[in-house]
Amino acid sequence: HPVSVIVVAAGSGTRLGAGVPKAFAEVAGEPMLTRALRAITGMRGEVRTVVVVPTQLLQTAADFALRAGLDRDSVAVVEGGATRQASVAAGLSAVDPASDVVLVHDAARALTPAAVFDRVVAEVRASGAGVVPALPVIDTIKRVDAGGRVLGQVDRSQLAAAQTPQGFPLMPLIDAYSAVDGEHTDDASLFAAAGRPVRTVQGDALAFKITTPADLARAEGVVAGNGE
């Protein structure tokens, strides 16, 4: 069975201040979306891609997919929604139903290596669970109230920072999306809310999300070879 990868790129990205939807902003001369799509060309096995973008950028996204090296026949481009969750739902409706595994990936995690995608797919197939690439939390985390008062510590050893691509068996994810109530900040929490198990695999520092101008500067440093 092929793997389907939904790449969500329909956010406005106002925190980046680039003047274009965030995924279309360039990192060292190449749009984030093109970089995210190129990673998919490095995956093992048969892969189909659904790119979710703002309506005025449907053709641009199709051009980016070709430039990234994806086969025209393996790519669908669809219009996103008002929230990330609505955009993923739009992508799911265009997924090849022959796929056994679907990955959902943020275009804003533009430098994620192909190996992370492969690791997530392998774990979904091995476990049947939802799978999240995650990293240990480095900072000490405080619970605070609205007034800024520290209420307590959170045990860091029990925390993990979730990244994308997140992977799922296709039909259970479609069922979870059709049953969903309310907004979830990632697909794994929506999947878990539907009563399904979720596991982690090792994430990657390069899978960080580009949100602010400082993140963009970090990404440009990575591309320029300055490392992490």
- The Cα 21–Cα 55 span in angstroms is 11
Instruction: Give the nearer residue to ligand C5P in terms of CB position, either 110 or 198.
Output: 110
Instruction: Give the nearer residue to ligand C5P in terms of CB position, either 95 or 107.
Output: 107
In whole angstroms, how close is the CB of 90 to ligand C5P at the nearest point? Answer: 9
In whole angstroms, how close is the CB of 74 to ligand C5P at the nearest point? Answer: 20
Instruction: Give the nearer residue to ligand C5P in terms of CB position, either 5 or 9.
Output: 9
In whole angstroms, how close is the CB of 88 to ligand C5P at the nearest point? Answer: 7
In whole angstroms, how close is the CB of 80 to ligand C5P at the nearest point? Answer: 4
Instruction: Give the nearer residue to ligand C5P in terms of CB position, either 15 or 44.
Output: 15
Instruction: Give the nearer residue to ligand C5P in terms of CB position, either 23 or 70.
Output: 23
In whole angstroms, how close is the CB of 15 to ligand C5P at the nearest point? Answer: 8
In whole angstroms, how close is the CB of 108 to ligand C5P at the nearest point? Answer: 4
Residue 104's alpha-carbon distances to 4, 52, 175, in angstroms, are 9, 11, 15
All residues at 6 or more sequence positions from 116 whose CB lies less than 8 Å from its CB, including other chains: 133, 163, 165, 203, 204, 207
Q: Which long-range contacts (CB under 8 A, 24 or more apart) does 54-58 make?
A: 54/10, 54/12, 54/21, 54/79, 54/80, 55/79, 57/21, 57/24
C-beta of residue 210 within 8 angstroms of C-beta of residue 14 = no
DSSP summary character for residue 19: S
Q: Tell me the one-letter amino acid at 94.
A: A
Closest-approach residue to ligand C5P (CB): 11
Instruction: Give the nearer residue to ligand C5P in terms of CB position, either 54 or 130.
Output: 54
- The Cα 119–Cα 8 span in angstroms is 20
Collapsing DSSP to helix, strand or coil, 139 comes out as coil
Q: 51 has which bridge partners?
A: 7, 77
In whole angstroms, how close is the CB of 147 to ligand C5P at the nearest point? Answer: 27
Instruction: Give the nearer residue to ligand C5P in terms of CB position, either 31 or 130.
Output: 31
Phi-psi region of 17 (alpha: psi -120 to 50; beta: other; left: phi over 0): left
Q: Which residues bind ligand C5P (CB under 6 A)?
A: 8-11, 22-23, 52, 80-84, 87, 106-108, 209, 211
